[in-house]
Amino acid sequence: MDAIATVALFVNSLLLIHLASSTTAAAPPLLPPTSCSTAIILFSPCLPYISSPPNDLDSRVTPYCCRAYSLVLVSGSGICLCYLLREPDMLGFPLNNTRLISLSSDCSLLNVSFVNRGSLESLCSGKLLCPALVYR
């Protein structure tokens, strides 16, 4: 690599570091999930609320949780959350299904951009098959 290219790369790196450090601490944008694994990962801001003791770190649902939950529902991946209802220990720690089911009503009470697509309980009822848990 010649000297000009090296200097340009160095200046660009410094600029990126400066831009990254000068931004506010806003929540990162959430992107729509592409698989059930991705949907469950995007849903992770809700884990402190829906986990059973001793992992239940939040006593109330947070706006960030509601945005993540809404994104999963709006993207059409809400069915993926049925894994959490049907297998509450699948993450290696127990979940509180009552809190998980109540997310639709809990999030509707907050003043966040939450889109209510019905209850998770009704979405997961019946003998429907969940999509595969594949990470892409």
Q: What is the rounded (10 degree) CA torsion for 24, 25, 26, 27?
A: 160
At residue 86, the pLDDT reads 86
In a domain, 3, yes or no: no
At residue 134, the pLDDT reads 46
In a domain, 56, yes or no: yes
In a domain, 71, yes or no: yes
The number of distinct structural domains making up the chain is 1
Q: Check: CB of residue 31 under 8 Å from CB of residue 68.
A: no
- What is the domain extent for residue 64? 26-124
At residue 16, the pLDDT reads 40
In a domain, 79, yes or no: yes
At residue 33, the pLDDT reads 54
In a domain, 19, yes or no: no
Low-confidence ranges of the chain (pLDDT < 50): 3-26, 31-32, 134-136
